[in-house]
Structure 1
Amino acid sequence: MFNYHMVLIPAVVALAATLISGPMLIPVLKRLKFGQTIRDEGPKTHLVKNGTPTMGGIILVIGIIVASLLSGKVDGNMLVALFSIIGFGLVGFVDDYIKVVLKRSLGLRAYQKLIGQFVFAFLIVLYQYKTSDYGSSILVPFTDGYYFDMGMLYIPFTVLVVVATVNSVNLTDGLDGLASGVTLIVSVFFVITASMLGYESIAIVCSAVFGACLGFLRFNIYPAKVFMGDTGSMALGGAVAAAAVIMNASLMIPIVGGIYFAESLSVIIQVTSFKLTGKRVFKMSPIHHHFELVGWHETKVVGVFWATSLVLGAVALIAFI
């Protein structure tokens, strides 16, 4: 049974925590000169964003943790979800720190990032495999609640899903308010489905993600006063991935998180095409930059992607039910 009271309070607490911590942390980031460096090869309209404080994902993580722990419903599932948020957020934080503080523009090397991500993903999936009544089974969309047993393939497959999800959310974070707005919508889907399936603590965490994203948009909407950085995007990816894995619903991510999927797919297509043919399919990838370069204003791209996420969320609910 959907409990509005259960999920409303964490959202409000996370919203309040984010709105309170934001004005305190953003000036600190400015004083420390934790400013974003915009790449020259990106859209020229983004050059004005040079120096905007980054690593604001700390604000998101604070809101989510505070709201979740204050709910009084702490259990193993919640702790694993928070472990995922903090763990992947930590990988992003180290990457941000190297880029922003140590002034090494590429941050962590790709293999270093992937090692950290695969370690956290494996631990989360192993927990689910060992504790869930469904074991190695996953919910198949549009099948009226049918679970398919993947057997030995469950762990490697789900680990890949987690890592892909985290990196896809990271790729989505390229425009003011894009990743936070899309994840806000995705979190509503998981609040509803977690409540319906009886995963109370996961519903609470996702509610906290919703509230934190809503509060963060106060500072991240165009023109952004702060960027979440890899700290925030990977933490949000960890939240989405953990919710799906714990509910054995990892196959729902490409539907409800269709924007994430499209962003990653556009990069894969672009790189593959260029390597094989020397030609680019898009003017720039990820795909949100393509729309900018065909003449859409940044706010239009974000608005259309938000609207698309709403439609995908509705489709995902139909697929789930």
Structure 2
Amino acid sequence: MRVYLLIAAIAGGVTWLVTPLIRHMAIHIGAVGKVRARDVHTIPTPRMGGLGMLIGFTFAMIYASRISFTTGLFANNNQEWVILAGAAMICLLGMADDLWDLDWMLKMAGQLLISVFVAWGGLQIISLPLGSLVTASPGISISITAILIVASINAVNFVDGLDGLASGIVAIGGIAFAVYSYIIARNSPSYASMATLIDVAMVGICVGFILHNWHPAKLFMGDSGSMLLGYLITCASIVMTGRLDPASIHTSVYLPVFMPILLPILVLFLPVLDMCLAIVRRLSHGQSPMHPDRMHLHHRMLRIGHTVQGAVLILWGWAALIAFGSIMILFFRADHVAIAFSVAVVVLTVATMYPYLKQRLPEIAEEDRTYEAARRKARHASDEMSQGSGKAA
């Protein structure tokens, strides 16, 4: 565990150190995001922060390949270096978009080509732990792997709309998945796990970048960062889940049986939910799935009255609840987990709706006072009419 913490610290430290240099470079070459109608920021801000994250991740992986605890992970095959090469290519594609605002079809085509390359290089879903192994042909394995990578890349890209939001959600999901992959790796002789290694390095670069990206951000991660994070968290899940044999895992660890498939979905639940809602919303209006708008989850949070920091923290809370709530069942009784989960849902729901309720309650009270005053006035007028009729009689 201490080795993983050291690797995360190296990834985060390098990212934190090089990010100011990346910011100056982005300004120099013109990779500065203009203020668009859908944006939250009000001043042009440099982007391309993903390059600093890639540098931090690369340093961490090279260091891991040189220490005894994890060096064996790099000795057996070239999968790890294929993953690193894919990270570099996906980051370069994102940098091109940060600089030139590529057409979305061109960008997606590039994502798909890179994903196919990585899958062809060895990162594939060979089997699925569904009670028994389900083995697919190489062509199907490559296709499924590439589609999952592209979907995750765009899910994280969709949710990247507030300072620190995407990097925080991915870091939370990475921590949860690293805990689970570390538990699984305890059944191996060395305890070392490539999935855990990728996760802790990814968490490190997220934390290192957030220190520069917290509102008001000095630098945006841009597509170079959001695409990189979506790619890395998917690679980590495929490395573990795609080759996992349920028969090789002790039942006390491997409960519930669908956890290796369920957890990768849950750690990216908010980005995937936001992406699905956006696609349905835009298609229902006859628009392209990639048509920009201001109806994402974070935009709705701001609309009901949250500050940028408040919206980010609450969305982090929801991400943590879903990600960590899913693995707590491995450590605690299911009924205890259900109670704690329900309480947390109530707390987060109140926190989410508080600005709206704070605004609406005085309005409702004022409406009640107005209605009551009108009733008293009408009653008084009715009484006067009754008295006038009695005198006339």
What interval of TM-score do these two structures reach, taking the shorter chain for normalisation? 0.7 to 0.9
Contact 2:199–2:236 under 8 Å retained in 1: yes
Confirm whether residue 290 of structure 1 aligns to residue 290 of structure 2: no
Change (3 A) 1:93 1:139: farther
Change (3 A) 1:318 1:126: farther
Confirm whether residue 229 of structure 1 aligns to residue 222 of structure 2: yes
1:10-89 equivalence runs, <5 A: 10-40=7-37, 42=38, 46-48=40-42, 50-71=43-64, 72=66, 73=71, 75=74, 76-89=78-91
- Deviation larger for 177-186 or 265-274: 265-274
Change (3 A) 1:66 1:122: same
Secondary structure in structure 1 of the residue aligned to 2:216:
coil
The code of the aligned residue for 2:296 comes to P
Confirm whether residue 115 of structure 1 aligns to residue 109 of structure 2: yes
Deviation at 1:8, TM superposition (A): 0.8
- Write the distance in 1 (CA, Å) between the matches of 2:318 and 2:94: 27
Deviation at 1:243, TM superposition (A): 0.8
What is the CA deviation profile of residues 54-92 of structure 1, one whole-angstrom value per residue up to 9, with x for unaligned ones? Answer: 111111111111011112236234223322322221221
* Of 266, 271, 274, the match for 1:255: 266
Match of 1:309 in 2: 319
Deviation at 1:150, TM superposition (A): 5.4
- Write the distance in 2 (CA, Å) between the matches of 1:317 and 1:147: 22
- Write the distance in 2 (CA, Å) between the matches of 1:172 and 1:180: 10
- Write the distance in 1 (CA, Å) between the matches of 2:198 and 2:279: 31
- Write the distance in 2 (CA, Å) between the matches of 1:192 and 1:81: 21
What TM-score does the superposition give when structure 2 sets the normalisation length? 0.68
Between the aligned residues of both structures, percent identity stands at: 25
- Write the distance in 2 (CA, Å) between the matches of 1:319 and 1:119: 38
Deviation at 1:319, TM superposition (A): 7.3
Q: Which has the higher contact order (CA 8 A, sep 6+)?
A: 1
The code of the aligned residue for 1:92 comes to G
- Deviation larger for 192-201 or 304-313: 192-201
Contact 1:55–1:230 under 8 Å retained in 2: yes
What TM-score does the superposition give when structure 1 sets the normalisation length? 0.82
Contact 1:81–1:243 under 8 Å retained in 2: no
Secondary structure in structure 2 of the residue aligned to 1:28:
helix
Deviation at 1:207, TM superposition (A): 1.1
* Of 134, 146, 150, the match for 1:149: 134
Secondary structure in structure 2 of the residue aligned to 1:138:
coil
Confirm whether residue 196 of structure 1 aligns to residue 196 of structure 2: no
Change (3 A) 1:123 1:109: same
- Write the distance in 2 (CA, Å) between the matches of 1:235 and 1:251: 22
Deviation at 1:273, TM superposition (A): 2.5
Aligned length: 291
Contact 1:263–1:288 under 8 Å retained in 2: no
Confirm whether residue 239 of structure 1 aligns to residue 232 of structure 2: yes
RMSD: 2.4
- Deviation larger for 222-231 or 81-90: 81-90
Q: Which runs of 5+ in 1 are unaligned?
A: 99-106, 141-145, 277-282
What is the CA deviation profile of residues 200-246 of structure 1, one whole-angstrom value per residue up to 9, with x for unaligned ones? Answer: 23322221111111111111011111000001111111101111111
Q: Give 1 or 2 for the bigger CA radius of gyration.
A: 2
Q: Which runs of 5+ in 2 are unaligned?
A: 186-191, 243-259, 288-292, 332-393
Contact 2:163–2:214 under 8 Å retained in 1: yes
* Of 209, 216, 221, the match for 1:216: 209
Match of 1:164 in 2: 151
